[in-house]
Amino acid sequence: MLLGHGDDGYRYGQNIVADFSTNVWYGGEPAGLKEYVINSWEGVNRYPEVVSESLQHLIATHHQLPDSYIQISSGTTESIYQLAQLFATKRTTIVIPAFSEYEDACSIFDHQLEFLSWEDSLRLPRLRSEVVFICNPNNPTGQHFPDLEQWVRKNPACLFIVDEAFIDFAPYAVSLIDQIERYDNLVILRSLTKAYAIPGLRLGYIVSQPYNIEQLLRIKQPWTVNSLALAAGKFIFENYTSVQPPVFQLLNDRDIFLSQLKMNDSCALLDTSTHFFLGKTNVRNAAHLKTFLIEKHGILIRDAGNFRGLSRQHFRVATLSAEKNSLLVNALLEWKNLYY
């Protein structure tokens, strides 16, 4: 899906004063990263490392793994399409609602697709599929899977592709990276764009056992990670402890934000494990609500009606600063007074 994601305010020709549509940390990139990347500018005069070997080593060291367990990508979306290509035509289950690129990538490579609801997946069913895509914590709901390792263990013949793009925002969700050496049917996707606010640079990585990484490298294009993104990745992992966003403060702000929004009965808000969450308008639909907020208030939300498994009434919102959160709270009160 080329269009229909969040952070699409540029399409409306109007000044956006508060963008709730993207799940990227609103506080911006870590202090010092911009200067470090700019000082690395001479790198653009040469080809970058073919598969970002120096960053691969830094990340492997961070996770206390051999380098052979890591592949660098230009963001999680590249990883998804590469995996869909590697396992073309396989019988594949996608846990929904889910990031649309899982389905789009699998469709391009002729996967035999099945869909499993998040609620049904929590029962840890035995699977007939050869591949499963699941996002933990989930996008768009923000919920985390409580015992995903048990499900992986229960289905040894099925390859689990676990997208942990938002794990940095869910301190009570358990990453499976620490278990990667135990399971050859596990592939983990990580993003470096959300927590460090660099989505325009496109950067992520895959963690899996060496055989899976070797197979992925056979089909990987060279130089997909540019020199500036590579520099940003090095800065992050060389300064890891000092560049983390204030997640617990962010989640505290989310709790306040959610409690304020729940006082408005024109919308229903779902609880979440992360800083973003789903809402459902009880009047008209999310497309109308999005247009109203843009035109009347310069506020952008994510219309979630195009997520398989959701309705036209669903929208997604990320927590911003208290000041901007209040803008949305007040705008939704106006929406209620006009239409509810």
Looking at 242, 257, 285, the residue that finishes a domain is 242
Tell whether 193 is covered by a domain.
yes
Q: What's the rounded mean pLDDT across residues 271-278?
A: 97
- Which tokens in the block code for residue 27? 């506080």
* 96 and 208 share one domain: yes
Over residues 44-103, the pLDDT tens digits come to 999 999 999 999 999 999 999 999 999 999 999 999 999 999 999 999 999 999 999 999
pLDDT at 245 > cutoff 60:
yes
Q: Which residues contact 102 (CB under 8 A, 6 or more apart)?
A: 80, 84, 94, 133, 163
Tell whether 238 is covered by a domain.
yes
pTM over 0.75? The answer is yes
* 157 and 201 share one domain: yes
CA–CA–CA angle 169, 317, 192 (5° rounding) = 35
Return the CATH number at 96: 3.40.640.10
Owner of token pair 């398989």: 308
Burial-class residue 119 by CB neighbours within 10 Å (0-12, 13-18, 19+).
exposed
Which pLDDT score, from 0 to 100, does residue 4 have?
Answer: 55
Strand partners, 73: 204
Over residues 95-123, the pLDDT tens digits come to 999 999 999 999 999 999 999 999 999 99
320 pLDDT band, cuts 50/70/90, is very high
Domain that holds residue 306: 9-27+245-339
* 180 and 107 share one domain: yes
On average, the pLDDT of the chain sits at 95
* 181 and 322 share one domain: no
Tell whether 164 is covered by a domain.
yes
* 254 and 189 share one domain: no
Strand pairing class (314-318; 276-281): antiparallel
Looking at 223, 242, 261, the residue that finishes a domain is 242
* 205 and 271 share one domain: no
* 214 and 313 share one domain: no
Return the CATH number at 261: 3.90.1150.10
Number of domains making up the chain: 2
